[in-house]
Amino acid sequence: GESVGLHLPTLSVQEGDNSIINCAYSNSASDYFIWYKQESGKGPQFIIDIRSNMDKRQGQRVTVLLNKTVKHLSLQIAATQPGDSAVYFCAEVSGNTGKLIFGQGTTLQVKP
């Protein structure tokens, strides 16, 4: 069946350091992925997406890497700030309807 999973439930980093959050997926036919950030009491917020025809995509302080060979993607956050503290989810976009299949999430804690 379909599944998307994150490697670590919690990641603690020092302010200013870079953060790397990992995610694995099982469906080799998956071709579109999205990273979401969810702060306490809020809905998931779109961060960045990537399609399978790309290996890397960059945004503002964020980079997503996709390795289709091992079915793995990662979210890199540069110069992590206290405002980056949240739960991060990777999600696979399934089919034409855009149904999202989420992993369990990684909680990012930023230490001052």
Partner 1 sequence: DAGVTQSPTHLIKTRGQQVTLRCSPKSGHDTVSWYQQALGQGPQFIFQYYEEEERQRGNFPDRFSGHQFPNYSSELNVNALLLGDSALYLCASSNLLRVVLTDTQYFGPGTRLTVL
Binding site for partner 1 (CB under 8 A): 4, 34, 36, 41-46, 49, 89, 91, 93, 95-105
First-to-last C-alpha distance (Å) of the chain:
41
Residue 23 φ then ψ, to 5°: -150, 140
Closer residue to partner 1, CB minimum distance, 42 or 60: 42
Closer residue to partner 1, CB minimum distance, 98 or 112: 98
Identity of residue 77: I
Residue 109 CA to its chain's centroid (Å): 15
Nearest approach, Cβ of residue 37 and partner 1 (Å): 11
Closer residue to partner 1, CB minimum distance, 29 or 69: 29
Nearest approach, Cβ of residue 36 and partner 1 (Å): 8
Residue 84 φ then ψ, to 5°: -85, -10
